[in-house]
Amino acid sequence: MTTALTDSYVRAATRWLPGQTRREVEAELRERITDTVAARRDSTDAEREVLEEMGDPLLVAVEYTGREPRLIGPRFFMPWLRLLVLVLVIVLPIVGTVHIISGVTSDDNIATTLIGAVGVMIGTAIQVAFWVTAVFALVEWSGVGESEVTERWTVDKLPAAAATRSGRPYAETIASLVFLAVMAFLLIGQQTNSPIRLDGESIPALDPALWGSWIPIVLGLIALEIVFTLWVHVKGWTCTAAGINAAFGVAFAAVTVPVLKSGDFLNPELVERLGWDASTLEQVTQGILVGVLVVTAWDVIDGVLKARRTSR
């Protein structure tokens, strides 16, 4: 009998393969693991031993397909891939958020600003991918470490195993913490040193009156979210964690939606300086409202799905 370790191993080995090839390799790999484990009395320890003897799942995929990575060889391909994904997960949301905030100072509509943010994120992704790949390629071609003994691969390096060991993957935790820190920084910074400048004057994006109510509440929720993120990293996603996550989402929506509907969200001075009429202001506010509801719903559903996967 195989367990989630096999599922995680097969997924790691086949996730980068094209459709038909992925299905074929997955079927062959599962059969190979099942037969080998069965020959060892089908115990959990036997499954772990079999997977570790097979080694890095990427190299197993190379063995099945016969297509060895060329630019980044097998020695460094997995470290390169993990680092690249981690950097992109952290950097791209920050770049996109900063571009959207900066776009408020222009006369472009929401669609133009969002399209521009996507373009900037794509450009940033290309730059990050190029330089990370260039560094690993130079290390690979230089032959550094070829004579050294390669660290033995273990199942603890599988994403699912890492999540079980520490509760939550480091990449996901780091990305969440960075996002929360950026949000807090933007909320405070837009008032103390707003990046929005008109005629050389710095103008806050949000209504300064919100400092008496909405902003302190949201900053408090962000602080609680940071504690919650660290707790989930240690304990993992459970039904309790999903419930707390949903409560945070409902609380944020409960304090944000009324403010948006009241029309007292954006700084009146900024609206006046930009020359927005009532119709434009309503469109912008409605866009923000829809975004808040969509993101909140997605976050709640994502927490429930993660808890279900963990429980299985």
Q: Identify residue 75 by its one-letter amino acid code.
A: R
Question: Are 88 and 112 part of one and the same domain?
Answer: yes
Average model confidence (pLDDT) for the chain? Answer: 77
Report CA torsion sign: 116, 119, 123, 125.
positive
Domain limits for position 230: 154-312
Q: Does the reported pTM lie above 0.75? A: no
Domains of the chain: total: 3
Question: Are 198 and 295 part of one and the same domain?
Answer: yes
Helix (H, G, I), strand (E, B) or coil at 194: coil
- pLDDT score of 151 more than 50: yes
Residues 6+ apart with CB under 8 A from 50: 33, 36, 37, 40
Residue whose pair of structure tokens reads 């929401």 in the numeric block: 110
Asked whether the beta carbons of 101 and 195 are under 8 A apart, the reply is yes
- CA distances (Å), 25 to each of 10, 21, 31, 86, 300, in order? 9, 6, 10, 27, 35
What is the pLDDT averaged over residues 174-189? 80
Question: Are 308 and 188 part of one and the same domain?
Answer: yes
At residue 227 the predicted structure's pLDDT band, cuts being 50, 70 and 90, is very high
pLDDT at site 101:
65
Looking at 65, 99, 116, which one is the last position of a domain?
Answer: 65
Question: Are 270 and 149 part of one and the same domain?
Answer: no
Question: Are 263 and 122 part of one and the same domain?
Answer: no
Q: Which residue has the higher pLDDT, 46 or 210?
A: 210
Looking at 153, 185, 220, which one is the last position of a domain?
Answer: 153
β partners of residue 202: 197
Q: Report the distance separating Cα 232 and Cα 220, nearest Å.
A: 18
Looking at 12, 46, 65, which one is the last position of a domain?
Answer: 65
Question: Are 24 and 83 part of one and the same domain?
Answer: no
Question: Are 240 and 209 part of one and the same domain?
Answer: yes
Asked whether the beta carbons of 92 and 121 are under 8 A apart, the reply is yes
Question: Are 73 and 61 part of one and the same domain?
Answer: no
Question: Are 130 and 172 part of one and the same domain?
Answer: no
